[in-house]
């Protein structure tokens, strides 16, 4: 499809396990973002990648969170030793370049039990 693609769409995991969430941005978009949305809340910025520049990790809530991006394509958000407070929708987005229009994927619903 032409939009931002995320997988899995839903993930239930046990507390303490690691999870990986994948994002495939819109082709040609150099900027990629990860946000988190807890139930009934607004969006929290986690990290963004812009081309080959060092990513802005300032929003990552703890060192259990990390993200990688291969070139200008797929990104993976990894949460290690998951906690119940990590339960949220993790939204990926991309744009042609920074400060341009940002398009969001449908999100990955993570539930930690």
11 scored as a contact of other proteins (CB under 8 A): no
Burial class (CB in 10 A: 0-12, 13-18, 19+), 64: middle
Number of residues that bind other proteins (CB under 8 A): 26
Binding mask 38-77 for other proteins (x = CB under 8 A): ---xxxxx--x-x-----x-xx------------------
21 scored as a contact of other proteins (CB under 8 A): no
Rounded distance, CA 102 to CA 109, Å?
A: 20
87 scored as a contact of other proteins (CB under 8 A): no
Nearer to other proteins, 80 or 102 (CB): 102
Beta strands in 51-100 (DSSP E): 65-69, 75-79, 88-95
């Amino acid at each position: 499809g032409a939009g931002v693609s995320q997988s899995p769409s839903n993930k239930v995991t046990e507390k303490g396990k690691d999870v990986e969430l994948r994002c495939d941005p819109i082709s040609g978009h150099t900027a990629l973002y990860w946000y988190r949305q807890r139930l009934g809340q607004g969006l929290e910025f986690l990290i963004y990648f812009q081309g080959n520049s060092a990513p802005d990790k300032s929003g990552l809530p703890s060192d259990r969170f990390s993200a990688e991006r291969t070139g200008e394509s797929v990104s993976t958000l990894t949460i290690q030793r998951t906690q119940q407070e990590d339960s949220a929708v993790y939204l990926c987005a991309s744009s042609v370049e920074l400060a341009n229009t940002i398009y969001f994927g449908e999100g990955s619903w993570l539930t930690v039990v």
